[in-house]
Structure 1
Amino acid sequence: MIMKTLKIKIAITCVALATASMIGTSCSSLSKTQKGAVIGSAAGGTLGALIGKKAGNTAVGAIIGGAIGGTAGAFIGRKMDRQAEEIRKTVPGAEVISADEGLIVKFDSGILFDTNKSDLKSNAMTNIANLATTMKNNPETNILVIGHTDGDGTDAYNQTLSEARANAVRNYAVTQGIAGARLTTVGKGESEPIGDNTTAAGKAQNRRVEIVIVANDQLKQEAKASAGQ
């Protein structure tokens, strides 16, 4: 318990530094997921307050880990806002969460897949194809696809299913012309619930795919140049 409390205090200190500017070398031992977990749960965390319980810690952590802050970060944020509006107009099956220097695009798994399946439905292909168009219109980004399940079934089964679903989304995006190098996948199984796994409504919330869009190195350099850094 003492060690756990110490880690939490250290993480909160690092998050305070990150929200002021950017994560320093003293926080380098924390993973992106740990940083995201603190932001997502700590009272008063700017990004956590913005996202609330709409997305898992891996998604939040990926955005924090890619942020550069300051005027350059604001430059990226404006580009992300424009992309968010484009996605909202063209991908009606998605929930778009604007998160400072990144975006989280969330699909309930029922929109994309049949129960216990990882094959994309025909309507899901349309959604992913439309999303791929916006990705092509905004090439200076990296994309992380995260699969999640509810708490039913074994941990091992849910982990495998979440990975398969994330890979199905990635692979179809590649067929739509998105460079595979821009896309990374991860399966989180049932480990990052955003709803109550004891209720049907909560389980439905937890069965989801999150697509995180963040600036790549080229866009970061462009942002810094614009800010005179």
Structure 2
Amino acid sequence: MNASAVRHALLAVTATAFGLAGCADMNMPNMSPTARNTAIGAGVGALAGAAIGGDAKGALIGAGVGAAGTYIWSRQMEQKKLAMQQATMGSGATVVQTADNQLKLEVPSDLSFDTGRADIKPNMRPILDQFANGLANQPNTEVRIIGHTDSTGSDELNNRLSLDRAQATKNYLVSRGVAAGQIQVAGRGEHEPVADNSSDAGRARNRRVEIFLGERSVAAR
């Protein structure tokens, strides 16, 4: 394909991408979450593919990647969010919908783990039980568990401890019926604080576990 043809193809793909995103926004009340997010994902992916690939083929590949990489916010996800908010009410844990349509559950240290340990505390178990509820029958869902520590101790110790906490959380969810293949774990150690480590209160906030739940559309898998 010559340069002129490539340029015209890229313009066409770009226009289509913006049209999809615009259509999704304008018709948001009339579109399902699956349709809206897949359209936006395809448009953004097309632009990214064009920028990376530098040709029409790259743009078209990007469109596919964008659509496949999009999480949807279905009625099922909304119900899970409401159930988790009810289960964690007054506990100090937080439940939110992220910008990319994942459900995020953040469990602070006073509920999750004692200092320096990776054993799940009893108060955390009912929360994890509720989180696991129904996921065994939802193969399109993905779970990511990320452990964090405060700045006390060495990097090596904190990296290992944060990963051990994430793994312990995964093991518990698997024991409650969630497929191990649905769950990814990671440890961030002390490297992603949400508060100042110079105070006891700040360190307590930084010792936490974050659990993300995302649902893919059937077509994206």
- Map 1:174-185 onto structure 2 (within 5 A): 174-185=174-185
Q: Quote the residue 1:108 is aligned against.
A: 108
1:85 aligned to 2:82? Answer: yes
Q: Quote the residue 1:221 is aligned against.
A: 219
Contact 1:155–1:189, Cα closer than 8 Å, also in 2:
yes
Q: After TM superposition, give the deviation of residue 187 of structure 1 in Å.
A: 0.3
Q: TM-score, normalising length from structure 2?
A: 0.65
Q: Quote the residue 2:95 is aligned against.
A: 96
- Map 1:1-229 onto structure 2 (within 5 A): 21-23=43-45, 24-25=48-49, 26=51, 67-68=69-70, 76-79=72-75, 80-92=77-89, 93=91, 94-100=93-99, 101-136=101-136, 138-216=138-216, 219-221=217-219
Q: After TM superposition, give the deviation of residue 135 of structure 1 in Å.
A: 3.0
Q: After TM superposition, give the deviation of residue 129 of structure 1 in Å.
A: 1.4
Q: After TM superposition, give the deviation of residue 203 of structure 1 in Å.
A: 1.3
Q: After TM superposition, give the deviation of residue 139 of structure 1 in Å.
A: 4.3
Q: After TM superposition, give the deviation of residue 103 of structure 1 in Å.
A: 1.2
Contact 1:66–1:214, Cα closer than 8 Å, also in 2:
no
Q: After TM superposition, give the deviation of residue 106 of structure 1 in Å.
A: 0.5
Q: Please give the alpha-carbon distance, in whole angstroms, between the structure 2 residues aligned to 1:155 and 1:66.
A: 36
Counterpart of 2:78 in 1: which secondary structure?
Answer: helix
Q: Please give the alpha-carbon distance, in whole angstroms, between the structure 2 residues aligned to 1:201 and 1:159.
A: 21
Q: Which runs of 5+ in 1 are unaligned?
A: 1-16, 29-63, 225-229
Q: After TM superposition, give the deviation of residue 21 of structure 1 in Å.
A: 4.3
Identity of aligned residues (%): 31
Q: Aligned pair in 2 of structure 1 residues 20, 197: CA closer, same or farther (>3 Å)?
A: farther
Q: Aligned pair in 2 of structure 1 residues 140, 168: CA closer, same or farther (>3 Å)?
A: same
Q: After TM superposition, give the deviation of residue 116 of structure 1 in Å.
A: 0.8
Contact 1:86–1:134, Cα closer than 8 Å, also in 2:
no
Q: After TM superposition, give the deviation of residue 110 of structure 1 in Å.
A: 2.2
Root-mean-square deviation (Å): 2.9
Counterpart of 2:168 in 1: which secondary structure?
Answer: helix
Partner letter of residue 197 of structure 1?
Answer: N
Q: Please give the alpha-carbon distance, in whole angstroms, between the structure 2 residues aligned to 1:84 and 1:27.
A: 36
Partner letter of residue 73 of structure 2?
Answer: G
Q: Please give the alpha-carbon distance, in whole angstroms, between the structure 1 residues aligned to 2:161 and 2:68.
A: 27
Q: Please give the alpha-carbon distance, in whole angstroms, between the structure 2 residues aligned to 1:19 and 1:197.
A: 38
Worse-matched range after superposition: 93-102 or 176-185 = 93-102
Q: Please give the alpha-carbon distance, in whole angstroms, between the structure 2 residues aligned to 1:193 and 1:27.
A: 32
Q: Which runs of 5+ in 2 are unaligned?
A: 1-20, 22-39, 54-65
Q: Please give the alpha-carbon distance, in whole angstroms, between the structure 1 residues aligned to 2:204 and 2:212.
A: 20
Q: Please give the alpha-carbon distance, in whole angstroms, between the structure 2 residues aligned to 1:206 and 1:160.
A: 16
Partner letter of residue 96 of structure 1?
Answer: V
Q: After TM superposition, give the deviation of residue 66 of structure 1 in Å.
A: 7.4
Counterpart of 1:22 in 2: which secondary structure?
Answer: helix
Q: After TM superposition, give the deviation of residue 67 of structure 1 in Å.
A: 4.8
Contact 1:66–1:215, Cα closer than 8 Å, also in 2:
no
Partner letter of residue 215 of structure 2?
Answer: A
1:107-133 per-position Cα deviation (integer Å, ceiling 9, x unaligned):
002211111110111222222112111
1:116-174 per-position Cα deviation (integer Å, ceiling 9, x unaligned):
11011122222211211153465421000000001111111100100000000000100
Contact 1:77–1:102, Cα closer than 8 Å, also in 2:
yes
Counterpart of 1:177 in 2: which secondary structure?
Answer: coil
